[in-house]
Chain A
Amino acid sequence: MTVNNTIAHQRLTLTGDRERFKELLRRRLIECGWRDQVRMLCREIVKENDGNNVTFDTLVTRVTPRARALVPDTVKKELLQKIKTHLY
């Protein structure tokens, strides 16, 4: 992360816009069914390891690559576009 990025990050946090973008992203991911899909992935992993305690860390390492790939391009584009126009 460069100095510029840190400043942008701090500015977004200060104005509260970071939370607003997060809320928008959260809403989009729910709408498109992404959250439900990821929940199913997690459920599968817990089932595979039945009996043994699955920790958050193992869940994150197993699910993250697939969950990332599942984010629809339209959602990524919308967020990127909105953050760009907001920053400049």
Chain B
Amino acid sequence: MNDTGCIHLNNFKAAKGTNPYKIVHAFFVSCTSYEARRYKATSCLCFTCGKAGPRMHSCLHCIFFACYNGHIQDHSKSKKHFLYVDLSYGNVFCAQCQDYIYDRELTELSRNYRVKEAKALGISVPYTPWLPNNNEVMALRRLRKRRLISPHTTIGLRGLQNLGSTCFMNCIVQTLIHTPLLRDYFLGEKHKCKTQGSGKCLVCEVSKLFQEFYSGAKTPLTLHRLLHLIWTHARHLAGYEQQDAHEFFIATLDVLHRHCMNGVEDTEKKENGRCNCIIDQIFTGGLQSDVVCTSCSGVSTTIDPFWDISLDVAGPGSLQACLERFTRAEHLGSAAKIKCSNCRAYRESTKQLTLETLPIVASFHLKRFEHSSQIDRKISAFVSFPAELDMTPFMSTHRRAVEAADNNNAPEGVFEDNRYSLFAVVNHLGSLDAGHYTAYVRQMKGSWFKCDDHMITRASLREVLDSEGYPDLSFCSRVVNYHCWSYK
């Protein structure tokens, strides 16, 4: 497909510019305002038959709307107006070439209007696949080596050597490498670092690691540089002891988040007061805490950012049950009175946690290790978790709507999609002080692999969900175009 249009469109553009196209697009293809939607609703009916379809088109030469059932063609023939625009997609049809034609400039305009429309309606911006620019086309031409990605490809999978009780690190690294959006970020070389080459930036190190994973080589990697960097920047983790994978995960995110700022000007750092580094964009959600005074019913609300959700394990159950318990209103009792700003006195209160904003990747940590002054122990109860998880019931807005509707009506939110899909699980086997971590990761569409240090073996989804090692951490990604890598 070429995107240089045709002679007829180019002549039209030379004579009248892109304005006619812009007007048709902004008002009748992707409405960027309420006014535009009003125009579209009232006037986009076929001028000949009065119907709203099929496939409405607008003439690019004059004000005329008609359907593709012959009427737009009739108009085109009788008036010799050869160009018309499809009102669903914004593509231009040339009656002289007898087909839709594509012009780079108009395609670019169209995409901008679509983004504007999506923003105006509060829906997610339509996904547009990556198109190489001229430089990238040249680079691809120069690079003769091609690799075919099929369901059996094992590219992106590599074992990691155990450096002496470092299986906790290997599992977390495997998980991060298989986080879909992180992969896209790093393989797209989006990290621009000021300290380039100094060897002190963890983000640069992870960037190199992605190159290693996707180089096609199969020998296990040794992560001594990464481990050293994390030891330097998170001193509490240093030493050759078995560490807690969850603690390591949070510390790694923290160091990555700090190092992401290495190449960024101060002015770009924050958007609406929130950090917009890749780590925060992917992992940060908002946890809402409502404290309700039992005597005046006054509510005090705070919202805190979170990178993971730590859940208590109270015996065998499911992840949903844990989340249900996590978001249940809890009476704080007479021993824990809180000062109510409304009554100006210490009152008994109830506290409820809900999810105010959801992150793109949700990580759930099951608190299996119990540390108390008397005893440290591991709770080995089986907690099941689904391959697909709907987070809607645990959202703040949902809880409010349910209470308001008195449980009778389903809350609003037809267009919301809060489904998550599982892509990694970290398991802890054995006892508290003599244990071993392994991870399951999803690669490509629906292929699962078990990562046990340097060993990578194929696994089935059933195996992952039934994992006998009792999951310690599970990672779910929002269902957003994760499939876009699946074919080719």
- Tell whether A and B belong to one assembly: yes
Taking Cβ atoms with an 8 Å cutoff, the residues of A that contact B are: 1, 6, 9-11, 13-16, 19-20, 23-24, 26-27, 30-31, 33, 36, 53, 55-57, 82, 85-86
Whole-angstrom distance from the CB of B91 to the nearest CB of chain A? 8
For A13, what are the chain B residues with a Cβ–Cβ distance below 8 Å?
Answer: 37, 40-41, 44
Known: A9-B52, A10-B41, A56-B100. A31 touches B483 (CB 8 A): yes
B51, A1: Cβ atoms under 8 Å?
Answer: yes
CB-based nearest A residue for B101: A56
Q: Chain B at the A interface: mostly helix, strand, loop or mixed? A: loop
A36, B126: Cβ atoms under 8 Å?
Answer: no
A36, B486: Cβ atoms under 8 Å?
Answer: yes
- Contact partner of B123 (CB less than 8 A), chosen from A10, A14, A20, is A20
Shortest 4 CB-CB distances between A and B: which pairs? A13-B41, A10-B41, A14-B41, A16-B121
- Contact partner of A24 (CB less than 8 A), chosen from B37, B117, B415, is B415
- Quick one: which of B38, B41, B120, B487 has the most chain A CB within 10 A? B41
For A23, what are the chain B residues with a Cβ–Cβ distance below 8 Å?
Answer: 118, 123-124, 126, 415
Known: A14-B38, A14-B41, A56-B99. A20 touches B121 (CB 8 A): yes
- Interchain Cβ contacts under 8 Å between A and B, 29 examples: A1-B51, A6-B45, A6-B51, A9-B41, A9-B52, A10-B41, A11-B41, A13-B40, A13-B41, A14-B38, A14-B41, A16-B31, A16-B120, A16-B121, A19-B30, A19-B117, A19-B121, A19-B123, A20-B123, A24-B414, A24-B417, A26-B126, A27-B417, A31-B479, A31-B483, A55-B99, A56-B93, A57-B99, A85-B414
A59 to B31, CA, bound (A): 28
- Contact partner of B415 (CB less than 8 A), chosen from A6, A20, A33, is A20
CB-based nearest B residue for A10: B41
A56 to B91, CA, bound (A): 11
Number of residue pairs A-B, CB distance < 8 angstroms: 60
Query: B407 within 8 Å of A by Cβ?
Result: no
For B483, what are the chain A residues with a Cβ–Cβ distance below 8 Å?
Answer: 30-31, 33
Whole-angstrom distance from the CB of B130 to the nearest CB of chain A? 16
* CB interface residues, B 88-125, toward A, < 8 Å: 93, 98-100, 117-118, 120-121, 123-124
* CB interface residues, B 117-142, toward A, < 8 Å: 117-118, 120-121, 123-124, 126
Whole-angstrom distance from the CB of A63 to the nearest CB of chain B? 14
For B42, what are the chain A residues with a Cβ–Cβ distance below 8 Å?
Answer: 10
A33 to B481, CA, bound (A): 11
For A30, what are the chain B residues with a Cβ–Cβ distance below 8 Å?
Answer: 481, 483
Whole-angstrom distance from the CB of B172 to the nearest CB of chain A? 29
For B30, what are the chain A residues with a Cβ–Cβ distance below 8 Å?
Answer: 19
Whole-angstrom distance from the CB of B284 to the nearest CB of chain A? 23
CB-based nearest B residue for A40: B487
For B487, what are the chain A residues with a Cβ–Cβ distance below 8 Å?
Answer: 36
- Contact partner of A1 (CB less than 8 A), chosen from B31, B41, B52, B123, is B52
A79 to B478, CA, bound (A): 21
B98, A6: Cβ atoms under 8 Å?
Answer: no
For B37, what are the chain A residues with a Cβ–Cβ distance below 8 Å?
Answer: 13-16
